[in-house]
Amino acid sequence: MKNLGLIDIGGTSIKFAVWKDNELKKLKPVPTPSTLGEFYNVLTDQVEKMKQYQIVGVGISSPGAVNKKTGVIEGASAIPYIHNFKIQQALEERFGLPVSIENDANCAALAELDSGAGKDVDSLVFLIVGTGVGGSVIIDHKIWHGAHLFGGEFGYMLSDNKNTLSNLGTSVNVANRYNINSKPVSNYSGKEVFDLAKKGDERAQKEVHTMYYALAKSIYNLQYSFDPELVVLGGAVSNNPDLIPAVNKEIEKIRKIVEIASIKPQVVACHYTDEANLRGALVDFNQQK
């Protein structure tokens, strides 16, 4: 595989790496600039340094809805200046190299499919659970972007009559619900509320169960919508050893309600964590170029 420069654009920092001799060599991250001009300067400077490794192109993981046909990052993110103009072309001119850009959740899913938790399958659904819930649909090794570039935006799905999956299916909102309903209002983190639930706190147990059920219901529905071979859960919460067994337990309850549901979703935790976006940008570049 050819040597490539890799960039993971985040809201607070930008990660850099080089793919050389089939290994990922991480470089020093840089705080995300506040202006487009500074952004161009930082990326161009880093890519010039990468050229010592004889890179033949640059793969980029980015927030936002990336339009692969136009090279425009549509939608919105914490970095407003990267949106709604032909940024891929602008970066290629500055780098003097071909550039591919893909959404960060899609990159993470590609990394899992290529050499991570999904390396033995052709299709998967990837849910990344953070402040909200994002994700990706991959069919026959290709990302399903959708007609409006919203493929994989699972966080918008309704979990009940008024709450989305992002409202109910994250540890961040487990903590928010618990804290708001405490008297006086508390300030526990998601992990601390999970710990309280294990110690027998009934309110904590209720909120944790709400999260597990919301994820299970969504995974069940996704299984019968796309019928993937595998469902991969990512994000910091995937490090919780209770997550997969608890979600599977709720899925089994749903399957007993829907008696004709013969398929049991195969749910696993992600393999890659902080490297997923960089590795996925590599996979995307090689698929596009």
The pLDDT value given to residue 74: 95
Q: Are residues 78 and 164 in the same domain?
A: no
Q: Which residue has tokens 């499919």?
A: 113
Q: Are residues 233 and 253 in the same domain?
A: yes
**Do you know the residue count of the chain?**
289
Distance between CA atoms of residues 107 and 110, nearest Å: 5
Q: Are residues 229 and 261 in the same domain?
A: yes
CATH value at residue 188: 3.30.420.40
The pLDDT value given to residue 274: 85
Give the other-Cβ count within 10 Å of 160's Cβ: 12
Distance between CA atoms of residues 20 and 28, nearest Å: 16
Q: Is residue 107 part of a domain?
A: no
Characterise 84 by phi-psi region: left (phi > 0), alpha (psi -120 to 50), beta (else): left
φ, ψ dihedrals at 34, nearest 5°? -95, -10
The pLDDT value given to residue 254: 96
What are the C-alpha distances in Å from 71 to residues 91, 103, 272?
10, 12, 27
Q: Are residues 65 and 171 in the same domain?
A: no
CB 274 within 8 A of CB 281: no
Distance between CA atoms of residues 9 and 40, nearest Å: 12
| Sheet with 23-31, side-by-side order of all strands | 23-31, 13-20, 4-9, 58-62, 99-103
The pLDDT value given to residue 288: 84
Q: Which domain holds residue 226?
A: 117-269
The pLDDT value given to residue 149: 93
Q: Is residue 144 part of a domain?
A: yes
| Amino acid occupying residue 248 | N
Q: Are residues 133 and 157 in the same domain?
A: yes
Distance between CA atoms of residues 124 and 228, nearest Å: 5
Task: Tell me: pLDDT of 289 over 80.
Answer: no
Higher pLDDT, 235 or 83: 83
pLDDT class of 237 with cuts at 50, 70, 90: confident
How many domains does the structure of the chain reveal? 2
Q: Are residues 126 and 49 in the same domain?
A: no
Q: Is residue 32 part of a domain?
A: yes
The pLDDT value given to residue 70: 97
Average pLDDT of the chain to the nearest whole number:
95
The pLDDT value given to residue 236: 84
Higher pLDDT, 274 or 16: 16
Over range 187-205, report the average pLDDT: 96
Q: What is the pLDDT of residues 102-125, one digit of tens each?
A: 999 999 999 999 999 999 999 999
The pLDDT value given to residue 233: 96
Q: Are residues 218 and 281 in the same domain?
A: no
Q: Is residue 111 part of a domain?
A: no
Over range 88-101, report the average pLDDT: 98
The pLDDT value given to residue 226: 96
CB 151 within 8 A of CB 103: no
pLDDT class of 168 with cuts at 50, 70, 90: very high
Over range 198-214, report the average pLDDT: 97
Task: Tell me: pLDDT of 200 over 80.
Answer: yes
Task: Tell me: pLDDT of 219 over 80.
Answer: yes
| Amino acid occupying residue 29 | P
pLDDT class of 273 with cuts at 50, 70, 90: confident
* CA angle 76–81–82, rounded 5-degree value: 70
Expressed in percent and rounded to 5, the helix, strand and coil fractions of the chain are 45, 20, 35
Task: Tell me: pLDDT of 1 over 80.
Answer: no
The pLDDT value given to residue 123: 97
Q: Is residue 31 part of a domain?
A: yes
